[in-house]
């Protein structure tokens, strides 16, 4: 797909925001632990309603204004490990000094300049992810950089923030959150828009992740690191895609967003060419569906409302991203009000008949060039949803909207809210500023972890790796796991490098989800490999098995894959093959070992170490030659 996109021609600009939880003993503004809880252990709950407020400049942030339209009820679940600070019933304590020190360490590793004094700010967030209606954040450092193969990438800012509450479920206008994650310290690292290709975006994200992990002071596991990507193209708009948890998806997300904006630019031109227009007229279509067989409509109590989009026929069904059409873009807005959306480019479907579709079109006197959008919901919800849909359809004829979107598992994205502006930030008066003196910075600098270049050289000297392999594993996020394995077992370092880099990449390319694989899986694999219970050729098969069944042991994987074999059986197999090839061996002499190895490996590949097989074959060949 890289070949299909001329990044320079489309004028791609992209930047990353990395959010990484810190492995501190306590939360950012209280003494509660930073461990996540089993949600069944919740000991109390309470409800809140949030509304948008003005900043000190007297303005209401557009993103907050948008969220306030949905009038949601928020239910929060607390634990014996959370306190009144999370409940917003007690002022926050001072900034966690341990979190500040870790943030400064990361900043120095990114060649940044720390601030002289840390001031905490409030960032308005009323989607329910924080009980108080804002997130607390503090600027720690600015003006850094990292080196990449494509050139330096500027790192504009590093902030220390409190993590949000974890969303559990949503039903209608009610949303439930868990308070165990709220307040866990995290660093937010923001790069400048210096990224020009999808591959560069992924490489920078991996390098930032490696630098964070090199401190040994960040949390590990799913959900502990999240990436946001800001992307724009020439003629398009800046779009922020939030919540990317899989580093391997970053490149795909960048490509899909470029494709989405390019397609929206095409659709805008087509709509203008057609003279398309939007009618702000909502029709009650319930009578048409009184006897409808559609379960979607029946579930909504038979209430159906619709609008007509003149000149939109065929546009609604146009694919803009993998698995998403332009109609999906409109549906995102309807879903914000708890209403599902259907349109005439996809109907009849969902139990709606062709006759019902024709009646809907007649209700608007719609021509073949027009599209009709319907929602099944009670009147107020339906009208709010359709007004939002009309606004987005009208916007499609003017411009590509600036907005915040959420990442989807397949690499596409869905609308969340408008881009926030400067009005969302204002000072936090409950938290005193913290001075950063030279003595503190000097102490942190004296204990910084080694740089990538130093690590590469050490791997070449200590483990005998050539420069390319040393560089590959030194930059890899699993470099510390590599050291543990090589230091624990008598296994060639090259084998371990390949397992942690190339084999993982090959599994991903084959469509295997490798996220379930943990350090313990690799340690277990190499424990058994060092005991010569299978050959190194079987490592990819074991990784594939454990990725699909992470709860299984390597011993179980060996058995189920069929790698278990007794050495007397191995020797007998080799003896039989050698006996059958006596004439060949006498003809070729010692040169017969190579071809015979190929025959034996077909039977034993992955079951026995190749070096051991070679020794056994050579031994059996010599026995025949010495007779």
Is the Cβ–Cβ distance between 237 and 402 less than 8 Å? Answer: yes
pLDDT at 558: 80
Of residues 230 and 619, the one with the higher pLDDT is 230
Contact 310/279 with Cβ under 8 angstroms? yes
Percent of the chain with pLDDT over 90: 66
From residue 362, give the alpha-carbon distance in Å to each of 83, 278, 358, 366, 371: 59, 17, 6, 6, 12
For residues 47-73, one letter each, b for 16 or more C-beta atoms within 10 angstroms of the residue's C-beta and e for the rest, the string is ebebebeebeeeebbbbbbbbeebebe
Per the model's pLDDT, the better-predicted residue between 595 and 617 turns out to be 595
**Encoded tokens for 491:** 């296994």
Residue 370 reports pLDDT greater than 60: yes
pLDDT at 372 over 50: yes
Least confident of 186-195, 322-331, 433-442, 597-606: 597-606
- pLDDT for residue 360 is more than 50: yes
**SS3 at position 558:** helix
- pLDDT number for residue 60: 64
- DSSP letter, residue 56: T
The arithmetic mean of pLDDT across residues 550-575, rounded, is 73
User: 201: pLDDT confidence band, cut at 50, 70 and 90?
Assistant: very high
The rounded distance, in Å, linking the Cα atoms of 559 and 76 is: 46
Of 232 and 540, more confident: 232
- Please list the residues that pair with 153 across neighbouring strands: 146
Can you give the pLDDT at residue 1?
39
Q: What is the rounded average pLDDT of the residues 408-428?
A: 86
In this prediction, residue 2 carries a pLDDT of 44
C-alpha torsion 257→260→262→268, nearest 10? -140
Of 89-98, 364-373, 473-482, minimum mean pLDDT range: 473-482
Structure-block tokens of residue 593? 């070992």
pLDDT value of position 619: 79
**pTM of the model as a whole:** 0.76
For the chain, how big is the Rg over CA atoms in Å? 30
429 vs 622, residue with greater confidence = 429
How does residue 609 score in pLDDT terms, banded at 50, 70 and 90?
Answer: low
pLDDT of residue 603: 62
- What's the whole-number average pLDDT of the chain? 89
Do residues 239 and 13 make contact, with C-beta atoms less than 8 angstroms apart? Answer: no
In this prediction, residue 210 has a pLDDT band, given cuts at 50, 70 and 90, of confident
Per-residue pLDDT at 600: 67
pLDDT at residue 289 in the model: 96
pLDDT attached to residue 68: 59
Q: Burial, 440: exposed, middle or buried (Cβ in 10 Å; 0-12, 13-18, 19+)?
A: middle
Q: Please, which pLDDT band fits residue 180 given cuts at 50, 70 and 90?
A: very high
Read off the pLDDT of each residue in 404-410 and give the average, rounded to a whole number: 94
Mean pLDDT computed over 557-565? 70
């Amino acid at each position: 797909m890289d070949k299909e996109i001329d990044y320079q021609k489309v004028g791609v600009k992209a930047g990353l925001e990395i959010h990484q939880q810190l492995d501190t003993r306590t939360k950012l503004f209280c003494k509660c632990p930073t461990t996540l809880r089993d949600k069944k252990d919740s000991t109390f709950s309470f409800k809140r309603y949030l509304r948008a407020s003005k900043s000190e400049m007297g303005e209401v942030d557009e993103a907050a204004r948008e969220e306030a339209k949905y009038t949601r009820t928020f239910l929060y679940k607390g634990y014996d490990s959370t306190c009144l600070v999370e409940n917003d019933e007690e002022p926050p304590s001072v900034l966690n000094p341990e979190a500040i020190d870790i943030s400064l360490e990361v900043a120095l590793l990114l060649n940044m300049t720390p601030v002289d004094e840390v001031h905490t700010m409030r960032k308005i967030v009323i989607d329910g992810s924080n009980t108080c209606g804002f997130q607390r954040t503090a600027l720690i450092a600015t003006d850094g950089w990292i080196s990449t193969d494509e050139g330096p990438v500027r790192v504009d800012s590093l902030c220390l923030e409190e993590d949000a509450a974890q969303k559990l479920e949503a039903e209608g206008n009610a949303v439930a959150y868990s308070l165990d994650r709220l307040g866990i310290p995290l660093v937010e690292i923001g790069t400048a828009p210096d990224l020009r290709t999808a591959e560069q975006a992924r490489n920078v994200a991996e390098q930032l992740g490696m630098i964070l992990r090199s401190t040994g002071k960040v949390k590990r596991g799913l959900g502990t690191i999240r990436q946001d990507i800001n992307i724009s193209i020439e003629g398009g708009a800046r779009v922020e895609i939030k919540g990317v948890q899989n580093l391997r998806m970053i490149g795909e997300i960048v490509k899909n967003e470029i494709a989405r904006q390019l397609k929206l630019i095409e659709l805008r031109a087509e709509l203008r060419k057609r003279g398309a227009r939007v009618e702000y007229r909502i029709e009650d279509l319930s009578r048409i569906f009184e006897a409808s067989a559609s379960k979607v409509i029946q579930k909504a109590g038979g209430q159906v409302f619709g609008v007509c989009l003149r000149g939109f026929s065929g546009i609604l069904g146009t694919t803009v991203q993998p698995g998403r059409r332009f109609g999906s873009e409109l549906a995102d807005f309807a879903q914000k009000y708890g209403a599902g959306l259907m349109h005439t480019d996809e109907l009849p479907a969902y139990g709606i008949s062709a006759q019902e579709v024709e009646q809907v079109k007649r209700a608007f006197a719609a021509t073949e060039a027009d599209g009709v959008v319907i929602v099944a919901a009670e009147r107020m919800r339906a009208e709010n949803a359709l007004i939002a849909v009309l606004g987005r359809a009208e916007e499609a004829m003017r411009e590509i909207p600036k907005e915040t979107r959420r990442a989807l598992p397949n690499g596409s994205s869905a609308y969340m809210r408008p881009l926030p502006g400067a009005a969302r930030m204002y000072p936090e008066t409950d938290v005193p500023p913290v001075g950063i003196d030279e003595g503190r910075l000097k102490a942190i600098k004296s204990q910084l972890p080694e740089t990538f270049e130093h690590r590469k050289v050490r791997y070449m000297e200590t483990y005998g790796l050539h420069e390319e392999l040393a560089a590959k594993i030194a930059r890899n996020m699993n470099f510390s796991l590599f050291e543990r394995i090589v230091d624990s077992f008598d296994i060639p370092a090259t084998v371990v490098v390949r397992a942690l880099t190339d084999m993982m990449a090959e599994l991903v390319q084959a469509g295997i989800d490798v996220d379930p694989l943990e350090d313990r899986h690799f340690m277990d694999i190499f424990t058994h490999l060092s005991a010569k219970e299978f050959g190194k050729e079987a490592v990819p098969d074991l990784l594939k098995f454990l990725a699909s069944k992470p709860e299984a042991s390597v011993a179980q994987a060996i058995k189920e894959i069929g790698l278990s074999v007794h050495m007397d059986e191995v020797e007998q197999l080799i003896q039989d093959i050698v006996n059958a090839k006596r004439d060949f061996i006498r003809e070729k002499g010692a040169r017969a070992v190579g071809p015979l190895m190929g025959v034996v490996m077909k039977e034993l590949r992955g079951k026995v170490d190749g070096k051991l097989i070679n020794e056994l074959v050579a031994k059996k060949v010599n026995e025949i030659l010495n007779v």
